[in-house]
Structure 1
Amino acid sequence: MQIFRQSRRALQLQRHLLRYDFHRGHGFRYASLLHQEGYIGGKWVSALSGKTFAVTNPCNGKVIGHVPDMDEADTKTAIDSAYEAFQSWQRTTAKERSILLRKWYNLMEENKEDLALILTAEAGKPLAESRGEIGYGSSFIEWFAEEGRRIYGEVVPSPASSKEIILIREPIGVVSLITPWNFPNAMITRKAGAALASGCTCVIKPAEDTPLSALAIADLAEKAGLPPGVVNVVTASRSNTPAVGNVLCTSPKVAGVSFTGSSAVGKHLYRLCSSGIKKIGLELGGNAPFIVFDSADLNKAVDGFMISKFRNGGQTCISSNRIYAQSGIYEKFVAACKEAISKRLVMGDGLNKDVNVGPIINQSQIDKVEGIVNDSVKLGAEVLMGGKRHELGGLFYEPTILTNVSSEMPCVKEEIFGPVAAIQKFESEEEVLKKANACQHGLAGYFFSQDYSQVWRVARRLEVGMIGINDGLISAVEAAFGGIKESGIGREGSRHGVDDYTHIKYLCMGGIN
């Protein structure tokens, strides 16, 4: 009966999405990727309360499905399942885990178009960007399928001839993965790939705006042969999310927490985890400086600006937020940016061929973007273009350039998370570095310069965890992703991605003759 109910509900969800997709020439191959149940202990389940909440398409506001509104009781069940699975999963070999992760990756590649369609339907991303995210997301599973076989220990020279010192890495246990809506596929795979490769099991809490992508990922994990309980997905509405998060951070069966989201929420989760001294990884808010020096290649600077500012409609944690152009290039740069926005950006439904900017994710977020712009204008900022909601209505906001900007304005002090660029003029390298570093966040930064000496000086002094130098697209599975200051703790991706999911055990072998 449970299997029949799941199949019927998946088909119902598919019909919702097909009404949205088929007239544009898109369609789903597999109804099984579309789930309206949570995934706990290898089973597709409803909330114990029976409650659900709606998932809507931000492009048009239409409901595309309903998923379980799970609470503390459901979350504890998921943690229990992960804890039980960990007892055997931690004893699998690195090669065995690698084979399963490779199968998972292969399935993601085989189903990448369906995954992209689901992502566009629930997140509003242009389909080309969704395809890019799916490729980026699956690459983490591929990477950690390989990297998991290289989690090495150490043999340390002993101070005594009668002893040998060996350090080995072991999985920490059950981990809670709390992920955001702006990259609902890649933020899960970046965490889960590292956790599973290390020998941990996980409970995934996706953002309430984008749970369907998480459930599709879990479906493919199941098809790949990952044992029951190794991957679990708990879906919860905005009202239930705080209670679910509390359990995910305080349960004695949870050994670690990885969270991507705002700094305010990250601080709260950090406090919760402190009660159990849990291992924690935080990838938090950013307010990235984007600096264009007089020596910059103007075309490259504009290209970097466009990708770093308007990818995902500006809704990325590493979006360029505070734009600085040196006085000698300022006028040309501003004019070129305005022209590029006018010619290159097309807003609308993400499934339409030429669209490359979608809607803001939800009402509260577009209200925030609008408030930041309006409050900055009241303080003297000038709107060069945009500055209001788009004629498409709903959650669309016009690509915007603000000039005559000062450091006291909200568009500089706050992370905008929308298609708004606030551009300031500066005179000297020393001046712009002081402005760029006068921020409590330190996730990413960008600068453009053809002066070799300046490149090294600025790269050393810019207080961020990641820097794009003459490049506006810096994310890569091979690179260590993360920030400093209030932008987080730890690194994701790269060989360092397993650090949050392992601990070092010291073996002292004595009595050696």
Structure 2
Amino acid sequence: MGSSHFNSTNPANREDILGTFANATLDECREACLAARKGFEQWKKTPAPIRAGIIANFGKLIEKNKEAISQVLTREMGKPIKEARGDVQEAIDTCYFFISEGRRLYGQTVPSEMENKELYTYRRPIGVFACITAGNFPFAVPSWYFIPALVCGNTCVWKPSEDTPRLSLIFAELLYAAGVPKDVFHVVFGSGSETGANLVSLVNEGLIDKVGFTGSTEVGRKIGEICGRNLQTPCLELGGKNPLVVMPDANLDLAVNGIIWSGFGTAGQRCTSLGNLIVHKSIKEPLIKKIMDKVASIHIGNPSEENIFCGPMMSERFLKKHLENLDSLIKPHHRLITSKNGQITDQNKPERFSGNAQLGFYAHPSIVDNVNENDAIYSTETFGPLFNILSFSDLDEAIYLSNKTGYGLSSAIYTENIESSYKFRSEISAGMTSINNSTTGAEAHLPFGGNGKSGNGSRQSGIWVVDQFTKWQAVNWDVSGKLQLAQMDTSYINPSDYVVKI
């Protein structure tokens, strides 16, 4: 398949090639959608508990192969092995959560205003679901989409990230082994700009009924425009410039741990990574000192080693974009408080480094101080090991700085004050908020998603995602043997003329 090919390489060692994959053409994307539409006719008739039973098999297969999958994940996208195991475990958790949802796709029996008339509601599958995912969570995020989509009776066409095609193939093979028919789930490989664009264009041909996308706000807008013209609502999980507020009463040691994990976990390549650290003026310098001590202890290197905190960036293009951000977004009035920045090389390595600087795409953690709301770096998602520091005088200012970027994905506050916690969680615009915890982290039964530039209000995970993959049908069943017209033939009871006398 495909008119051209691309390699999947290990970002910790560019000479290590995991496989060669074909770029799917427009015709091949169309073929996959047509096959999925044909498969939908039988899959939607498969009882939901049976569909969920197949997902139970999928979860068991992932669990059985968890370590092998985690090793491939680390090798293909560079996430430290501990994080990789968590990525895979999230897919397992999602499977086991949605097993029971196959028996809970409830409708309702609704009382009618007419005699001998029954009203019902049913959840029905939407149809062909096309999805484009990113490479930073190559096993967890696809499970958020496809497990509920399949349980609800939809068929799927997936364009995974070109950074993790080997792992995507494993995902699909395990689904087939679990019992998902091959005409129900299809994978097309290639870049987002070509194969991804080809796939989404098929919305215009009526071959796709729902689109899911995890990626940049810029691309999300384009997908939203195509879907909107076709009266469809996509499921968009987009970028973030996630704020973390530290109040003067915060436990600073706890806050530092959350800051470092939020900023540099997965080399800062999470949509929920820390973007703006917003610190009260009274504690700014003591907090910075603690942060810098912690940064000095970070172990960067080969992600397959157990003690690594930060591995390489996912690919060379992500490293180049990070370097461009350092060049273009940092201005003279800023203070770059990290002493080593940019690409890690043999001549510019941190002390605790164990990777191959020549063959890997490694970057130093970077922190920019003296940022204000008028700076481009304040409102630009940088998607790398880089975050900003801003200061504030009171909580109202901190909330203002947290919301003004226009993003609304994740957020966090560190405080020991209940009133501050309550005010922050009530006034923050983000779809997700943590109190005394980091900006990152998701659980299979909690809704995940953002507002504003971070998404269109759709949510993954938990029972809420069922609304993304079903449509409501209302059934009006009249057994009276005659035409009954609601509102017109209804026998309403008129009130009497009784007047209370005092």
Task: Find the aligned partners of 1:48 and 1:291 in 2 and give their Cα distance.
Answer: 48
Task: Find the aligned partners of 2:203 and 2:306 in 1 and give their Cα distance.
Answer: 42
Shift of residue 248 of structure 1? 4.6
Q: Check conservation: 2:18, 2:166, Cα contact below 8 A.
A: no
Matched, 1:369 2:322: yes
Q: Check conservation: 2:159, 2:196, Cα contact below 8 A.
A: no
1:113-192 counterparts in 2 under 5 A? Answer: 113-192=67-146
The aligned amino acid for 1:477 is A
Instruction: Give the match's secondary structure for 2:37.
Output: helix
Q: Tell me whether 245-254 or 111-120 shows the greater mean CA deviation.
A: 245-254
Shift of residue 148 of structure 1? 2.5
Matched, 1:253 2:221: no
Matched, 1:501 2:469: yes
Structure number with bigger Rg: 2
2:278 corresponding residue in structure 1: 324
1:334 corresponding residue in structure 2: 288
- The correspondence for 1:407, drawn from 359, 369, 373, is 373
1:337-348 counterparts in 2 under 5 A? Answer: 337-343=291-297, 345-348=298-301
Matched, 1:71 2:9: no
1:445 corresponding residue in structure 2: 411
| Superposition RMSD in Å | 1.7
Matched, 1:217 2:185: no
1:30-429 counterparts in 2 under 5 A? Answer: 47=1, 49=3, 51-62=4-15, 63-237=17-191, 240-343=194-297, 345-385=298-338, 386-391=340-345, 392-393=357-358, 394-429=360-395
Matched, 1:460 2:414: no
Task: Find the aligned partners of 1:142 and 1:278 in 2 and give their Cα distance.
Answer: 30
Deviations 1:63-83 (A, max 9, x none): 331012111111111111111
Q: Check conservation: 2:30, 2:199, Cα contact below 8 A.
A: no
1:475 corresponding residue in structure 2: 442
Matched, 1:491 2:459: yes
The aligned amino acid for 1:418 is G
1:3 corresponding residue in structure 2: none
- Cα separation, partners in 2 of 1:463 and 1:85, compared to 1, 3 Å: same
Task: Find the aligned partners of 1:256 and 1:377 in 2 and give their Cα distance.
Answer: 40
Deviations 1:37-78 (A, max 9, x none): xxxxxxxxxx154x3211111112223310121111111111
Instruction: Give the match's secondary structure for 1:164.
Output: strand
Task: Find the aligned partners of 1:281 and 1:237 in 2 and give their Cα distance.
Answer: 20
- TM-score, normalised to structure 2, is 0.89
Shift of residue 165 of structure 1? 2.0
1:4 corresponding residue in structure 2: none
Shift of residue 379 of structure 1? 3.5
Task: Find the aligned partners of 1:430 and 1:48 in 2 and give their Cα distance.
Answer: 54
The aligned amino acid for 1:493 is S
Shift of residue 242 of structure 1? 4.6
Q: Tell me whether 482-491 or 236-245 shows the greater mean CA deviation.
A: 236-245
- Cα separation, partners in 2 of 1:248 and 1:512, compared to 1, 3 Å: same
- Cα separation, partners in 2 of 1:249 and 1:333, compared to 1, 3 Å: farther
Q: Check conservation: 2:245, 2:277, Cα contact below 8 A.
A: yes
Deviations 1:366-402 (A, max 9, x none): 2222232233433421111132222325521101122
Task: Find the aligned partners of 2:335 and 2:94 in 1 and give their Cα distance.
Answer: 42
Which ranges of structure 1 fall in alignment gaps of 5 or more residues? 1-46
Shift of residue 239 of structure 1? 5.5
Task: Find the aligned partners of 2:299 and 2:396 in 1 and give their Cα distance.
Answer: 37
Instruction: Give the match's secondary structure for 1:118.
Output: helix
Q: Check conservation: 1:249, 1:269, Cα contact below 8 A.
A: no
The aligned amino acid for 1:307 is W
2:351 corresponding residue in structure 1: none
Q: When the two structures are aligned, how many residues end up with a matched partner?
A: 465
Q: Tell me whether 138-147 or 174-183 shows the greater mean CA deviation.
A: 138-147
Q: Check conservation: 1:177, 1:202, Cα contact below 8 A.
A: yes
Task: Find the aligned partners of 2:200 and 2:462 in 1 and give their Cα distance.
Answer: 29
The aligned amino acid for 2:232 is K
Q: Check conservation: 2:148, 2:469, Cα contact below 8 A.
A: yes
The aligned amino acid for 2:277 is I
The aligned amino acid for 1:160 is M
Aligned-residue sequence identity (percent) comes to 30
Task: Find the aligned partners of 1:482 and 1:270 in 2 and give their Cα distance.
Answer: 16
Instruction: Give the match's secondary structure for 1:488.
Output: coil
Shift of residue 319 of structure 1? 0.7
Q: Check conservation: 1:53, 1:237, Cα contact below 8 A.
A: no
Q: Tell me whether 241-250 or 456-465 shows the greater mean CA deviation.
A: 241-250
